[in-house]
Amino acid sequence: MIGFLDSGFGGLTVMKEYLKKYPEYDYIYLGDQANAPYGPHSTERINGLVLKNVEFLIEKGCKMIIIACNTASADALRVVQQKYKGKPTILGVLVPAVEETLQKTRFGNIGVIGTRGTIKSNAYARELEKYSVLYTPTEKRANEKIKVYQQACPLLVPLVEEGMIKDTVSRMMLKKYLRPLKHAHVDALILGCTHYPLLQKEIERIMGKNCTVISSAKAAADAIGDYFRNHPDVEKQLSRKGGRTYYTTDCPERFSNLGSKFLGQKIEGIKVDV
């Protein structure tokens, strides 16, 4: 069983990418709707929530857990990885996006957008720095290092959740948030929040042809093939009956209505567990 953990239904954009590539596995999704959004919470509180929710997924039999929330990945991944020491495997969504970005950027000007929590944690900038050896500068710029430009976009989550994806207001806010990144000539932009893939087309339009937009959701699913090849022992433990189970800690109706948009298919039989 593969478990997904998110603060709400946003992580369903990550699960959607997994289901496309690996439909055969059994999946369980836990949306911590009762404590959503994680964005404005303190690191301590996020760590506590993630620990509790990871325990829930382990009890349900998950042999692999994906922390699908960027804010939670940024803050709590290391804490839970250290606690469980590989049993089960716990992965986040930051590193795959970081690796893909470093391979795709041409000039090393990298933009990151996310919630206040994700940006404040500085986790993307830290990981980009850590893996920066993956960036191959052009000969002319051989000695140049990567430059990271971060931008918190706190209004995008509520706008997406209100279904205002093609609304003038969303376009105005996107232009406002992306202006400094365009100005800095970023040529690769990480969508560091599970909600942003729903705005990806508009973001690409605003950023223009010279900027590659990387969805952390898609990057996470793309990276898992390599992970399975390198860890066949983990892959072997995963059950393959194509099962899907959805849990939410509050508001199942809202989870179902909005979640179905994020997953791209109707969600039925949601279970509530506190």
Cis bond before residue 37 (omega within 30° of 0): yes
- Does position 40 interact with a copy of itself (CB under 8 A)? The reply is yes
- Does position 35 interact with a copy of itself (CB under 8 A)? The reply is yes
Q: Given candidates 34, 79, 165, 234, which one binds a copy of itself under the rule CB under 8 A?
A: 34
Long-range contact pairs involving 41-48 (C-beta distance under 8 Å, separation at least 24):
41/71, 41/117, 43/75, 43/76, 43/121, 46/71, 46/72, 46/75, 46/76, 46/117, 47/75, 47/76, 47/79
Nearest to 77 by CA among 51, 96, 105, 97: 51
Catalytic position from the list 69, 153, 211, 251: 69
Q: Given candidates 50, 67, 128, 159, which one binds a copy of itself under the rule CB under 8 A?
A: 159
Q: How far is the CB of 119 from a copy of itself (least distance, A)?
A: 14
- Does position 51 interact with a copy of itself (CB under 8 A)? The reply is no
Q: How far is the CB of 259 from a copy of itself (least distance, A)?
A: 13
Catalytic position from the list 62, 153, 193, 211: 193
From 63-71, 153-161, 203-211, 226-234, span contacting a copy of itself (CB under 8 A): 153-161
- Does position 163 interact with a copy of itself (CB under 8 A)? The reply is no
| Pick 144 or 272: Cβ nearer a copy of itself | 272
| Pick 158 or 225: Cβ nearer a copy of itself | 158
Which tokens in the block code for residue 256?
A: 């179902």
- Does position 270 interact with a copy of itself (CB under 8 A)? The reply is no
69 is catalytic: yes
| Pick 190 or 258: Cβ nearer a copy of itself | 258
Binding mask 167-206 for a copy of itself (x = CB under 8 A): -xx--xx---------------------------------
- Does position 36 interact with a copy of itself (CB under 8 A)? The reply is yes
DSSP type of residue 254: H
- Does position 125 interact with a copy of itself (CB under 8 A)? The reply is no
Distance separating alpha carbons of residues 112 and 73, to the nearest angstrom: 15
Distance separating alpha carbons of residues 87 and 62, to the nearest angstrom: 10
Q: Given candidates 106, 126, 254, 261, which one binds a copy of itself under the rule CB under 8 A?
A: 254
Q: How far is the CB of 92 from a copy of itself (least distance, A)?
A: 22
Name, in order, each residue with C-beta under 8 angstroms of 127's C-beta and a sequence gap of 6 or more: 94, 95, 98
Q: What is the DSSP string of 107-154?
A: SSEEEEEE-HHHHHHTHHHHHHHHTGGG----GGGTTPPPEEEEEE-T
Distance separating alpha carbons of residues 272 and 93, to the nearest angstrom: 25
Residue 155: how many CB atoms within 10 A of its CB? 14
Instruction: Give, to the nearest 10 degrees, the angle between helix 168-183 and helix 200-207.
Output: 40
Strand duo 212-215 + 27-31: pairing: unpaired
Using CB under 8 A as the criterion, which residues of the chain lie in contact with a copy of itself when the complex forms? 33-36, 40-42, 45, 154-155, 158-159, 161-162, 164, 168-169, 172-173, 250-251, 254
Q: Which residues are catalytic?
A: 69, 193
